Structures are given as structure tokens and as C-alpha cells.
Amino acid sequence: MPQTPLKASLSLAALLLLSACGKQAAAPEPVRAVRTAVVGTDSAGMTLEYPGDIRARIESRLSFRVGGKILDRKVNLGDSVKAGQVLALLDPKDLMLAQEGAKAGLSAARTNRDQLGADYKRFIELQQQGFISAAELERRDAAFKAAQAQLDQARAQADAQQNQTGYTQLVADSAGVVTAVLAEPGMVVGAGTPVVGVAVDGPRDVVFSVPEDQLARVRGAAAEPGALKVRLWGDQSKTYDIKLREISAATDPITRTFQMKADIGRMDARLGQTAIVSLALPRSADVIKVPLTAVLQAEGKTSVWVLDPKAMTVAPQAVQVGGAEGNLVVIAGGLRAGQEIVTAGVHVLTPGQKVTRYQETSAPAAPATAASATR
């Protein structure tokens, strides 16, 4: 059916409208107002901090010297123990039977030795009367000495078996605190299998880990008296001087850090408490510090946004971080004094984006300096 002139006009208008919508230009990217600061130099004295925990100087994992089935465990985690206190018991039945057998062997060896000794005395008298030869007396003497040796062997075996029976009691070597329970009643354990862990009363250390790239710095600075300090996590107001005592010879295969132990002296701390070890490094001059809000971490890279004051555009610039001082980041490389960087809003910027300096309503716009932010 042929279209009327009115319908044709409406169709043409609709087509023109759709064509105009399809060619609509994209909205221009907004010009963002950002806070900036001019990079300056300053002095910095970094403090390295490492988390650690309080441990006993000696931590023993006690185990039975014989194997068997655990009948009873007399201590629990956190219990205080005294030297000589029984911690656990093994089933002694088999060992007691072996001990009875050793006693019977000792009795038989003693009876045999006594019999051969009495015979040897009679043969001495017979030899003196000329009824037996000297060779026969020597054989009787040798038999008596062999019986004496067998008696000594049986006595030693009986003593050893008695000791084995006594090993069914796991006894604390010294006073301390139970830090681990590694076996339960009913388990069959072998000789040397850890059953109870005990932290021995006495000197205590704070144990912490240091990255391998900071090992030489920490080792050198820790040699200075009072450089290494510790504070408890629950008490940030008190710090104590500690002395580095031990450095691991190899890195941890997973964390790639070196474990260190420092003597806490008479510091009042409980086992397992979290502590922060701090090491104050000498102050360095002519370093660059920027606010923490100016640093952007993305895809394993650290960067800041540098402002081009002529074009009023921003571009990312990679930097190397040398440490932190409060809310400021010490830049080890990648920036130079005089550059203007963005200090706020870094997560919403794109390379080449047009920006404008943020203007305070009560003061004229003027770029701040990173040095002034550090004062």
C-alpha cells in the first residue's frame, strides 16, 4: 500500500534523528582540581621497625626415651611446671616384663658364678694334693672368670632394663611453662617423639625477622649502644634497650628474611607477647620527603604524579622509596628538587589529564612546597 506524504515525512524525520544521535561527540574529560606541592630537600632520620614476639631463651620439646602407649598426660597448655614434675606416663607392662626377665637372668648368672667359684676352690685343694694337673686347674679358673663376666653382663642388662622402665615417666628437667601439647593419651609414640613443649624459666629474647636487603644496615647500627629498642604492643609509652644476641646464618626459604634474637634483659614481659623492635638510623641531609597521600602503588610499582606547569597536565613518574618518617615518605630516587607533584587525588588521575591547582576560598592559589609540609 503506498505511503501518504505525511507518513513519509515522519519516517524521514525519524531517520534523521537517529543519525544525529549516532554521531553525538563524547563529552570532554573534566578538568580536575588537585592539591600540589613543590619538591624540596630536607633532613631525615629513619626509624626501622620490625614486629616480633617474646620467647624463652631455651624452649625444649620433651619426649619419652622409649616407645609405647601414652596412658596419661598430667599437664595442659599454659601450666607452670617444676623440675622433676611428672608430665606424662607410658604403659609400663611390656617393660616391666622385660625387667623381670633381666632380673631372672641376673639370678641365674649369679648362681652359676657361685657354683663355679666353689668348684674352683675345691680343685685348688685337689691340685695341691696332686690329684689333678695344673692344666685342669687353669681350665677351672677360666670357667670361673667366664661365669663372673656373665654375671657382670647380666647385672648391667638388669640395670639398663630398670632404667628403661623408669623412662615410662616423662619428667620436666627444669621449671618452666608448657607451651605446646603434641600428643594425647591413647597415642602410641616412638622414642624421641615430642610430647610436651616447655619454655624454661630464665632469660628471654625478642625474636624478629629482617629482610635480607636490610641485614647489613641493621647489623651495623645495632652495634651502637642503645640503638636497638623494643616496646610491647600493649604499652606504646615505654621503650627498653635491648642487645642483639643472635643472627640466623641463612634466610627463611619462604619469607627470605633473617631471624634475629635480642636479649630483653630485665624487661617485664610475658611469653608470647607481641613486641615492636625499632632501630633509629643516623639522620641524612638533602633527602626528599613527600606526603604519603602523594604516593601511588600499582602493579608492583611506586610512582607519583608530576605536574607540567606550562601545559597543566600530569604524568606518572616512578620513584624508589627509602623509608617512612611519620606521614611522610622518604624518596630514595626518581624525583629532584623543584618538581611539582600532586599530593591529593592521585587515584583518579590519568596520564596527560588536564588539571588545575586547587584554590582555597580564603587565600590566593599558590603551590605549596613539600619542605613546608615537613616542618
Within a domain: 16: no
Q: Are residues 303 and 225 in the same domain?
A: no
**What CATH number should be reported for the domain holding residue 105?**
1.10.287
Q: Out of 20-34, 269-283, 349-363, which region has the weakest mean confidence (pLDDT)?
A: 20-34
**What CATH number should be reported for the domain holding residue 267?**
2.40.30.170
pLDDT digits 0-9 by tens, 267-296: 888 888 899 998 877 666 677 888 888 888
Q: Are residues 300 and 325 in the same domain?
A: yes
Q: Are residues 296 and 359 in the same domain?
A: yes
223 or 260: which carries more pLDDT confidence? Answer: 260
The domain in which residue 139 lies consists of: 93-166
Domain count, the chain: 4
Residue 72: is its pLDDT beyond 90? yes
The CB density around residue 197, as the number of other CB atoms within 10 Å, is 17
Q: Are residues 260 and 334 in the same domain?
A: no
DSSP code per residue over 33-86 = EEEEEE--EEEE--EEEEEEEEEES-EEEEE-SS-EEEEEE---TT-EE-TT-E
User: For residue 222, what pLDDT band results from cuts at 50, 70 and 90?
Assistant: confident
Within a domain: 312: yes
pLDDT at 19: 53
**Per-residue cell: 366:** 599558590
The torsion angles phi and psi of 184, rounded to 5 degrees, stand at -120, 160
- The angle that helices 93-128 and 134-166 make with each other, rounded to 10 degrees, is 160
Within a domain: 9: no
31-56 average pLDDT score: 82
pLDDT digits 0-9 by tens, 252-270: 989 899 999 999 988 888 8
pLDDT at 73: 94
pLDDT at 334: 85
Q: Which residues pair with 44 in a beta bridge?
A: 284
pLDDT at 26: 56
Averaged pLDDT score across all residues of the chain? 84
Q: Which of 116, 34, 24 is nearest to 356 (CA)?
A: 34
Most confident of 10-24, 167-181, 258-272: 167-181
